[in-house]
Amino acid sequence: MLRWAAFLSGTILLAGCSVFGIRSGTEQPTYQVVAELDEAVEVRRYGPRLAAEVEVEPGDEGEARNAAFRILANYIFGDNRAQEEIAMTAPVEIAKESEGETIAMTAPVETVRGDGRLTMRFFLPAAFTEANVPRPTDPRVRILTVPGETMAVRRFSGRRGADDVEAEEARLRATLDGVAWRPAGEAVAFFYDPPWTIPFLRRNEVALPVVDG
């Protein structure tokens, strides 16, 4: 079953995008490229990443995504227990929306479907740790560290519906046939750009956890 990530349906990245919807200055999780398998596929090593996560009942998937996004966006825009405002520089400057601390947004956003629930994650800026990150006031929001992992990643542009992601996953798996890297988990997809981005300018990725040999 495909797990797919990063539905940027809101306006949270507006401050970091041009009129064409291209990202500008948005922090992204760091990684090391350990192998290039072809012009579209590379193997990356991601370190641990701090994230804010929420689970919602799926129902209609579009409604579930929007509900999860709103909960996490409230946290990012100040619905947290910090008593002082962070001075925003890069990656994205976001105005204070409520009492509390305003937290910069990063890309991508991760959404996972499984076990009858939808889980969405916002990856938090690298300056935060579990010790200093503002604590959410909403009990539905959970702060966690995503463990480091090695992933084979295929980059693509254009449409990013479920059928498109599944087709790209099939291409990624075909690339892995006959090479040393073997799939070691379920696929995810990362969408880096907001929905108004011109399709051919979008950065989309489908990824599989892998092991060598």
Q: What is the pLDDT along the chain (213 residues), one digit of tens a residue?
A: 444 443 333 333 433 444 444 455 577 788 999 999 999 999 999 999 888 888 887 666 667 777 887 888 788 878 787 643 322 222 222 122 334 555 655 666 666 655 557 777 788 888 889 999 999 999 999 999 989 999 999 999 998 777 888 899 999 999 999 899 999 988 887 877 776 778 888 888 888 999 997
Do the domain assignments include residue 145?
A: yes
Give the structural domain span for 106: 14-212
Domain containing residue 72: CATH number: 3.20.80.10
Do the domain assignments include residue 3?
A: no
Do the domain assignments include residue 108?
A: yes
Do the domain assignments include residue 70?
A: yes
Number of domains in the chain: 1
* The predicted structure's pLDDT at residue 165: 83
* The predicted structure's pLDDT at residue 84: 33
* The predicted structure's pLDDT at residue 192: 79
* The predicted structure's pLDDT at residue 44: 96
Do the domain assignments include residue 193?
A: yes
Do the domain assignments include residue 1?
A: no
- CA gyration radius, the chain: 17
Do the domain assignments include residue 7?
A: no
Count Cβ atoms below 10 Å from residue 9 Cβ, excluding itself: 14
* The predicted structure's pLDDT at residue 183: 95
How many angstroms separate the Cα of 183 from the Cα of each of 31, 43, 57, 174, 210?
Answer: 18, 11, 29, 11, 4
Within 8 A by CB and 6+ apart from 122, the residues are 51, 52, 53, 72, 75, 76, 105, 106, 109
* The predicted structure's pLDDT at residue 4: 44
Do the domain assignments include residue 54?
A: yes
